Amino acid sequence: MRRPPKETEQAAGLVTRRGVVLGGLQLGFMGLLGLRMRQMQVTEADSYRLLAEENRINMRLIPPSRGIIYDRHGIAIAQNAQNYRVIIVREDVEDVDETIAKVRRLVDIEDRQIERALREMNRRSPFVPITLADQLSWDDIAELSINAPALPGITPDVGLSREYPLGVDFAHIVGYVGPVSDRDLAQLQTPDLLLQIPEFQIGKIGVETKLESRLRGKAGTRRIEVNAGGRVMRELSRDDYTPGQDLQLTIDHGLQNYAQARLSTESAGSVVIDVETGDLVAMASAPSFDPNLFVRGISSKDYDGLRNNDYKPLFNKTVQGVYPPGSTFKMMTGLAALRAGVIGPGERVWCPGHMTVGRRRFHCWKRGGHGWMNLDDAITQSCDVYFYEAAQRVGIDKLAELCHEFGLGERHDLPLSAIEEGLIPTTKWKARMRDEPWLPGDTLNSAIGQGFVLSSPLQLAVMAARLATGREVKPRLVKSADGLELPVADMPPLNISSSQLRMIQKAMWNVSNGRRGTARRSRIVAEGLEMAGKTGTSQVRNITAAERARGVTRNDQLPWNRRDHGLFVAFAPYDKPKYAIATIVEHGGGGSSAAAPPSRDILLYALYGDVPPLEAYPEDQRERISAMHEEMDIRPRLKPETKPSRA
């Protein structure tokens, strides 16, 4: 049925109006879309280009190689070794537990390594690579590489890890490195971006931590192109890293090894210093530990074994340990009295075996007394009463002044952890710290290195070096950096008369070589290498009047931790000093029996540059010394393979 013409005309008009409206809306939308596209492509093009570039281009840090540490002869004592490891990226793994299980079927990974990796994954963003295991073999890496297609998110990798080839010998000096902890980051105001890299290692103790900024180096960067899935497509550019400085220490690896081996059965510390330069050529603390254990992650069992050992292997006795110096301090008392003019060079003091001050009796180590003593006799035979009298006359404050001039009570500036200052007391110190007046008995105790007086083996070695030379010998531990020799500090003469100093030196010679010297059994008989020294014994317990009345208990009858400390200081050769030494043997008993023999042996090694010949020892000791050397774990001297220099 056909529509009337009028209806047809009305319908056509309606369609035309709708078409115009729809077309107008479409044109308007297209216009807005075009304007927006123009704004995005022209006006905001730079902004979107930058965003796109940031999504496509990533910047990654390149960790620098850590500086190598050498001994004075160029032997590497801390170096970098290739470390094969397996990396996991959490966001690329569908099931972490299942993937780890697959990896463990291919290579042997300890539970503690897995636990550490899982903890690290929970702390880090999903795209951050985490070390699942390290210190793998080449065979392990090859096995993982073959199976890589079946292990998405798992990447075999090779990096650098710290290694200490001489192990226990340098543990207390060089220290060790370990992963950056939250505590490490909290201590820094502006942490280096390098420290954010998972498993990045920094120094924890010793030279490794004190010279961290030199050893670490500076990171490099590389610009890489990644696809939408984050996979690396290609490297666009690279700015290489700056390696850390190579450092050369003053320590002699052969002497250090000998000193460690000689003291290995004791709880002891020994420091040897070159009196001409101040170079520390040995700093042995026994027992020691293997720093490589800490780099790889020490087990709880191993750490508890070190921590609970009565001999404290983690404790650096050469600088952290402070002890009453005992009779090794008596040269200070004698020199102070001579310099003050309160006692004459040949003046004699009567020793009946004790001195009474007020109601208290102060005893000499020799119960029956030494009789008449001059300064030379008193040092040679270690008479206490002579030095009681000398200290009473000079006073504690003048004695303390001289001690500081000889390096006691001073914190020497070395790149080592926890260097102790020791203590040289004064009247003001006691008033300030204890709110008590200084008593005459305090002076007498201090005169023989007891009471409040505390010194480390390092300080005693510096004292011995200054006694040997009459100069302000300053200890140093770093010889060169990147092959550039560091200057030796000025060593001005001390404010002491040369004639008075010679008196002390001659008395020390008698200690080691005189007929009544307390260290005569430990003398050096090689012509021209004679040693001058002083023994010391410091009490660690009080001896009651009742015990003195019935007889003082011998050290070998006491529990180990209640026995006296044995000390010894010396220099050699006597006529032209080259080295000075100080040794402490904790709870070793007397200084003459415990500390003097190893000190003599270590000094001889320093003088000869190798295991000393038997001819340097008294004839009746040679068979025993030979047997001892055969039993000791002495490493042959090494020859450097590379030059410790980038200069």
Active site residues: 327
Q: In the structure encoding, which two tokens stand for residue 388, read together? A: 């009681």
CB atoms inside a 10 Å sphere around CB 316: 27
Residue 640 CB contacts under 8 Å (≥ 6 apart), including other chains:
70, 73, 74, 75, 76
Q: What is d(CA 146, CA 142) in angstroms, rounded to the nearest whole number?
A: 6
* DSSP code at position 555: G
Assign 73 to helix, strand or coil.
coil
Contact 226, 232 (CB under 8 A): yes
Q: Where are the beta strands (DSSP E) in 33-75?
A: 57-62, 69-70
Tokens 């008995």 sit on residue:
441
Assign 340 to helix, strand or coil.
helix
Alpha helices in 76-110 (DSSP H): 96-106
Q: How far is CA 103 from CA 86, 107, 144, in A?
A: 9, 6, 8
Q: How far is CA 2 from CA 8, 11, 13, 544, in A?
A: 10, 14, 18, 139
Q: What is d(CA 139, CA 541) in angstroms, rounded to the nearest whole number?
A: 59
Q: What is d(CA 184, CA 191) in angstroms, rounded to the nearest whole number?
A: 9
Q: In the structure encoding, which two tokens stand for residue 242, read together? A: 């700056």
Phi, psi of 567 (to 5 degrees): -130, 155
Q: What is d(CA 454, CA 584) in angstroms, rounded to the nearest whole number?
A: 13
Q: What is d(CA 216, CA 34) in angstroms, rounded to the nearest whole number?
A: 55
Three-state SS letters, 466-528: HHHHCECCCCECEEEECCEECCCCCCCECCCCHHHHHHHHHHHHHHHHCCCCCCHHHCCCCCC
- Helices then strands (H, E): number in the chain? 24, 21
